[in-house]
A and B are shown apart, each in its own frame.
Chain A
Amino acid sequence: MTTEITPVIPVPERAARVFTALAAVATAGTALTAWTWTADFPGDLTFYGSPAGLQWLTLTGGLITAVLTLARYGIPGLRWTSPAGGNNGILLAALGTAAVSWFAIIAIAVDLGGLANLEPGGWLAGLTSLLAVTGALGLPLDRRTADSLGKPNYWWLLAGVVGYAVHHLITRTLRLAKIERKLPPARELPSWAEVLLIIAAFAVGLFAITFGIDTEYGELFTGYLILAGFTVAALAKTGLLQRLRALTVKHRPVATGAAFSAAAAFPFTQTSDQYTSVAANILIFATVALGLNIVVGLAGLLDLGYVAFLGVGAYAAALVSGSPASPIHVAFPFWAAALTGAAAAMVFGVLIGAPTLRLRGDYLAIVTLGFGEIFRITMNNLNGTTGPNVTNGSNGIPRIPDLQILGFDLGKKHLVGGIELGRFSNYYLLMLIITAVVVLVFARVGNSRIGRAWVAIREDETAAEAMGINGFRLKLLAFALGACLAGLAGTVQAHVSYTVTPDQYTFAEALPPNSAFLLAAVILGGMGTISGPLVGATLLFLIPKKLEFLSNYQLLAFGIALIILMRIRPEGLIANRRNQLEFHEPVIPAQSAPEDAVPLTKAGA
Chain B
Amino acid sequence: MTTTTAPAPTGTTLLDVRGVTMRFGGLTAVNNVDLTVSEGEIIGLIGPNGAGKTTFFNCLTGLYVPTEGTVSYKGNLLPPKPHRVTQAGIARTFQNIRLFANMTVLENVLVGRHSRTKEGLFSAILRGPGYRRAESESHDRAMELLEFTGLAAKADHLARNLPYGEQRKLEIARALASDPGLLLLDEPTAGMNPQETRAAEELVFAIRDRGIAILVIEHDMRFIFNLCDRTAVLVQGQKIVEGDRETVQNDERVITAYLGAPLEGTGAAASTEADQ
Contact = CB atoms under 8 A, between A and B. Distances in A.
Contacts of B63: 462, 465-466, 599, 602-603
Interface stretch (B79-87, B147-155, B202-210): B79-87
A409 interface: no
A451 B100 CA distance: 13
A481 B120 CA distance: 12
A147 B173 CA distance: 45
A591 interface: yes
B101 A591 contact: yes
B190 to A, nearest CB: 8
A165 interface: no
Contacts of A187: none
Interface string A284-314: 0000000000000000000000000000000
A468 B98 contact: no
A595 interface: yes
16 contacts: A444-B127, A450-B124, A452-B114, A453-B114, A455-B103, A456-B100, A460-B101, A467-B174, A468-B87, A470-B83, A589-B164, A595-B96, A597-B95, A597-B96, A598-B58, A603-B63
Given A441-B125, A588-B160, 5 more contacts: A449-B135, A467-B111, A467-B115, A579-B102, A598-B54
A459 B100 contact: yes
Interface of A: 440-441, 444-445, 448-453, 455-456, 459-460, 462-471, 477, 481, 578-579, 581-582, 585, 587-595, 597-599, 602-604
B103 to A, nearest CB: 6
Contacts of A603: 22, 24, 63-65
Interface of B: 22, 24, 54, 58, 61, 63-65, 81-83, 86-87, 91-92, 94-103, 107, 110-117, 119-121, 124-125, 127, 131, 134-135, 138, 158, 160-164, 167, 174-175, 177-178, 191
B202 to A, nearest CB: 23
A467 B178 contact: yes
A189 B187 CA distance: 54
B83 A469 contact: yes
B61 to A, nearest CB: 6
A593 B158 contact: no
A578 B102 contact: yes
A458 to B, nearest CB: 8
A460 B92 contact: no
A455 B24 CA distance: 32
Given A477-B121, A603-B64, A449 B103 contact: no
Nearest to A587: B160
Nearest to B190: A593
A470 B161 CA distance: 27
B7 to A, nearest CB: 31
Nearest to B100: A459
A399 B133 CA distance: 50
A467 B121 contact: no
Given A467-B178, A597-B95, A445 B125 contact: yes
A421 B94 CA distance: 61
Contacts of B135: 448-449
Nearest to B92: A466
Interface majority SS (helix, strand, loop, mixed), chain A: helix
Contact of B102 (A471, A582, A598): A582
Nearest to B67: A603
B61 A450 contact: no
Nearest to A481: B121
B82 A452 contact: no
Contacts of A471: 83
A598 B100 contact: no
B105 to A, nearest CB: 13
Contact of A468 (B100, B103, B178): B178
Nearest to B66: A603
B86 A466 contact: yes
Contact of B100 (A449, A463, A477): A463
A581 B161 contact: yes
B66 to A, nearest CB: 9
Contacts of B111: 452-453, 456, 464, 467, 469
Contacts of A470: 83
Nearest to B187: A593
Q: Which residue, B107, B125, B138, has most C-beta atoms of chain A within 10 A?
A: B125
A469 B116 CA distance: 10
A440 to B, nearest CB: 7
A267 B112 CA distance: 47
Contact of B114 (A467, A579, A588): A467
B29 to A, nearest CB: 10
A452 B158 contact: no
A597 B94 CA distance: 10
Given A449-B117, A593-B95, A603-B64, A465 B82 contact: yes
Contacts of B107: 452, 455
A602 B24 CA distance: 12
Contacts of B113: 449
A598 B112 CA distance: 20
A450 B64 contact: no
Contacts of B24: 603
A455 B100 contact: yes
- Which 4 residue pairs are nearest across A and B when measured between Cβ atoms? A468-B115, A448-B124, A468-B86, A459-B100
A155 B116 CA distance: 54
A578 B91 CA distance: 27
B45 to A, nearest CB: 16
B60 to A, nearest CB: 11
B96 A593 contact: yes
B34 to A, nearest CB: 20
Contact of A581 (B97, B100, B102, B131): B102
Contacts of A468: 83, 86-87, 112, 114-116, 178
A602 B65 contact: yes
Contacts of A481: 121
B124 A460 contact: no
Contact of B164 (A585, A587, A590, A597): A590
Contacts of B87: 468
